[in-house]
Structure 1
């Protein structure tokens, strides 16, 4: 038998590793975090709704056309007006010439509205939320703010108040239509070719606030079909443009919202939401597939993100109330019986993490409360147990996508771990004498 030279030995060892240990190697791969799917869209974004944890981010900060996903902001302001008593569901709105002419355009998503006729807020809201009726959205915007331009200003202010950057927001109407479809009723300073543009991140932010502040929005958003003005000559059958709802062509269990959008510029867009095992996710796809012509691609790409999110992530407790961390250094105390006080987390911290992975190390960023310490960087006794001294952001060390609001982790209050009483006169005097002689020598 021939002896192997050194190259033959190397080859034999490599062959042995490849044939004897393939299951070991595959096991190591299975244990690693699953990669996010490739999404066929200009932008894609997914978050967990409660915490805002980012799960998928593809071009999430690129400003693109949002089309009728705009109506999520319109829905929010309508629901807010109802909550504040400025509108009522049974309140009647008279249709003006602008809304009437828009409603007669059969190339747009609409329900037919009669000039001078009155419709309830509920009728118009359902038409907007289910059938993406544009003229209905215009009438609601006018009812909330007096005019559509004033409503657009309110839309912009609201989204900025949630943390969106002003430079990432371009809003010119309440519908998401291109201005050329509005019969000359365009926002001052905008052009006939303008339409609304935002980022996928900001659309997810809008959906998060809509769902968390007004969860009842889903009661309408999840309706697959409804007849507008049933039993009248204006009756029209409305089928929800969200084809992932039960009974529709791309139906998926537990999908109950939220809003589609389609224009030549924006392409086919969709903000979706679903809840499984107590975890709700929000997904956004913009200009999915090959553009406006394939209206099903947005649902196929959304399904990929939903599969990925529910298959690979879960809520897990990272911190218990009373836990501390090396990032939470004890604070020196002036005039106290003790010369320092330890810091702890004030509540449990639950976060979205990869399934079947043990969270061993945490990344904790501590931010001290302003105006808390004296000029010597000390707390001054007396100090109560549980006194708030700052906040901490907590996340696993391997978290790379962060949170929708730009935070690096889940925020938690940081408090003092114990009470520190003020030292008596004799103790304080003794300390001053000791400090004097220490500094002297």
Structure 2
């Protein structure tokens, strides 16, 4: 009987149809990201109640928001490399449990600085969870549908944000602001029990970590129940020496790493600047508070739809060029907002397409970064790109106030905001052209 050649698990997953087991994995990651979105939106809704109870000024609240962003950045930097060393499932569950307990502790805060410290810890757990959901989803999805499934999974963030806003409004009125943090702590702890039971470890990680063959076969059998895997062996990619972080800067990946970092920085700068300041900017044109809030909400609606549509397009065309065109169009749409700001209907359309293009592209960039790096540094690559992007989110959140103080006209202001989106489009185009060149010394991923 001829020997059965070793199975390449990546090719195995790519050639089979999506199974219920893989759908379950995507749904579990969706729920993790949704809880992240709930927490992110909730802190903004409870801030007025915290301010009233503790008699704070708006300036006192700035560190509260900044602490969460700093925690997200630190969590991505720390937990990405750990996931490449110890596995996606283990780090994901730890991150979810960690931010659940941190959120519960936040509900008992006695003063502002205690709450700020606990919000940092909550962000630390959230920052570790989000990139690993992208990595795990990517590693279980077949290549022909990978971008669409990863971007659809990540829509859990905007859906969770919407639920967080609605739930917070009711909970604060009925039970006070601490009830929102309690809810945000209980949900991940309950979900962690389901994750321990149902969430699989990445089969690619198990192979590269040389885990028992029985574990790998059991997981692949759930991907393709009809396959006979008795006596199967698996092709083990060579694990490069050194830390996962050092792999990001090797010649084969250095240029891509820097281009992804620049893209994430510019993209999240625009997203957080518009998310934080768009209602305020629209109010200066004479729109009512209610109208400004509705128009601003179209940014999130557009982002959710954009993530799904762009993910579908990325699976059918060159994903770099899809994202490059989308980012460039985002710059145009953002600039258009300033010219249409006095017309609620037209500005709503412009804001919708700005969200569609820039937020949708950011989700697509997450999926693309997961596909760029090999298994032994994938979680680190995705996580560190997100961490650099968080620097952009801080610049965007703070930069809005600076731009307002300059006294620019609305068209000039939004034209300036659109420039980073155009730069993100240029970096994606550059990355696409770089990766299209035939490598002289190709490095197997």
TM superposition score normalised by structure 1: 0.20
TM superposition score normalised by structure 2: 0.20
Structure in which a larger fraction of residues adopt helix: 2
Structure of greater Rg: 1
Structure in which a larger fraction of residues adopt strand: 1
State the structure with bigger RCO (CA 8 A, min sep 6), 1 or 2. Answer: 2
